Amino acid sequence: MEHVRDVTRLPKAHLHLHFTGSMRPATLLELADKYGVHLPDALTGGEPPRLRATDERGWFRFQRLYDIARSCLRAPEDIQRLVREAAEEDVRDGSQWLEIQVDPTSYAPLLGGLTPALEIILDAVESASRETGLGIRLLVAANRMKHPLEARTLARLAVRYADRGIVGFGLSNDERRGMARDFDRAFTIAREGGLLAAPHGGELTGPSSVRDCLDDLRASRVGHGVRAAEDPRLLKRLAELQVTCEVCPASNVALGVYEKPGDVPLRTLYEAGVPMALGADDPLLFGSRLAAQYEFARRHHAFTDSELAELARQSVRGSAAPEGVRARMLAGIDGWLAEEAGPRPVTG
Query: Catalytic residue numbers?
Result: 203
| Calpha distance 111→347 (Å, rounded) | 46
- CA-CA distance, 177 to 92, in Å (whole number)? 36
User: Measuring CA to CA, which residue among 190, 125, 107, 132 is closest to residue 164?
Assistant: 125
Residues in the chain: 348
Identify the three-state secondary structure at position 279: coil
How far is it, in rounded angstroms, from Cα 239 to Cα 48? 33
Per the CB < 8 A criterion, the answer to whether 100 and 22 are in contact is yes
Nearest-angstrom CA–CA distance, 266 and 250: 12
Dist. CA 318–CA 295, nearest whole Å: 20
Strands (E), the chain: 2-4, 12-18, 95-102, 135-143, 166-172, 196-201, 221-224, 244-246, 342-344
Total Cβ atoms within 10 A of residue 233: 10
Query: 147: helix, coil or strand?
Result: coil
